[in-house]
């Protein structure tokens, strides 16, 4: 797919001066990945159907149709903040330039950065996509609520991680850690 179209196998990176967190993406990501097979259901985790239901309801009420196209998706996921900021229901860990002007997310200390290409040695060690898990108030993963990762009984039960080499791992709640701070704490 996309990375195979570039000489160095670069993962999609869409810089945007207003993004801060791993789930903040430029809306151009949606339109650019459409020809590579991105569909509306891929934007949503099937374990958290309420995310799709809320966006679909908004689409019906505001646009007069169900959420079926990438144009509908862009309208739904940019409505909260800005037409230039799409909120993803996953976390995209591929480094890109955001509001700070430098690449983010960045590890602290910068010892095992997230991969930018298929050939990066860390592409099988650091994920490029995870379920979204966020906190605006605490870096403690034990305090993550029902709207994060794979919820169960009001708490996070697990989170899926997709790696650049194509394998997927599941982190149980006890394995989840805060990995990056933008203007929210970002976990997996």
- What local confidence, expressed as pLDDT, does residue 10 receive? 87
pLDDT at 97 over 70: yes
Q: Measured at the alpha carbon of residue 9, what is the angle toward residues 5 and 14, in degrees to the nearest 5?
A: 80
Backbone dihedral angles phi then psi of residue 125, each to the nearest 5 degrees: -120, -30
Lowest mean pLDDT among 31-35, 74-78, 151-155, 162-166: 151-155
What's the pTM value of the predicted model, to 2 decimals?
0.91
State yes or no: pLDDT of 96 exceeds 80. Answer: yes
Residue whose pair of structure tokens reads 């790696």 in the numeric block = 163
Instruction: Supply the pLDDT for residue 78.
Output: 97
More confident residue, 35 or 112: 35
pLDDT, tens digit, 9 for 90 and up, residues 167-188: 999 999 999 999 999 999 999 9
Decide: 72 and 40 in contact? Cβ < 8 Å: yes
Q: Is the confidence at residue 19, as pLDDT, over 60?
A: yes
Mean pLDDT of the chain: 91
Say which residue the tokens 């991680």 belong to.
161
- Where residue 138 falls among pLDDT bands split at 50, 70, 90? very high
């Amino acid at each position: 797919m996309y990375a195979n179209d570039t000489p160095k196998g670069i993962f999609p990176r869409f810089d945007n001066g207003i993004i801060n967190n791993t789930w903040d993406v430029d809306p151009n990501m949606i339109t650019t990945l459409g020809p590579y097979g991105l569909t509306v259901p891929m934007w949503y985790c099937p374990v958290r159907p309420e995310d799709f239901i809320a966006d679909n309801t908004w689409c019906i009420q505001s646009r007069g149709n169900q959420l079926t196209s990438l144009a509908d998706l862009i309208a739904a996921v940019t409505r909260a903040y800005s037409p230039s900021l799409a909120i993803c229901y996953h976390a995209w860990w591929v480094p890109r330039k955001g509001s700070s002007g430098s690449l983010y997310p960045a590890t602290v200390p910068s010892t095992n950065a997230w991969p930018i290409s298929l050939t990066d040695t860390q592409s099988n060690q650091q994920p490029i996509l995870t379920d979204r898990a966020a906190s605006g108030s605490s870096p403690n993963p034990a305090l993550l609520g029902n709207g994060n990762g794979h919820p169960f009984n009001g708490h996070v039960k697990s989170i899926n991680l997709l790696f650049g080499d194509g394998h997927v791992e599941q982190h149980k709640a006890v394995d989840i850690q805060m990995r990056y701070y933008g203007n929210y704490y970002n976990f997996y």
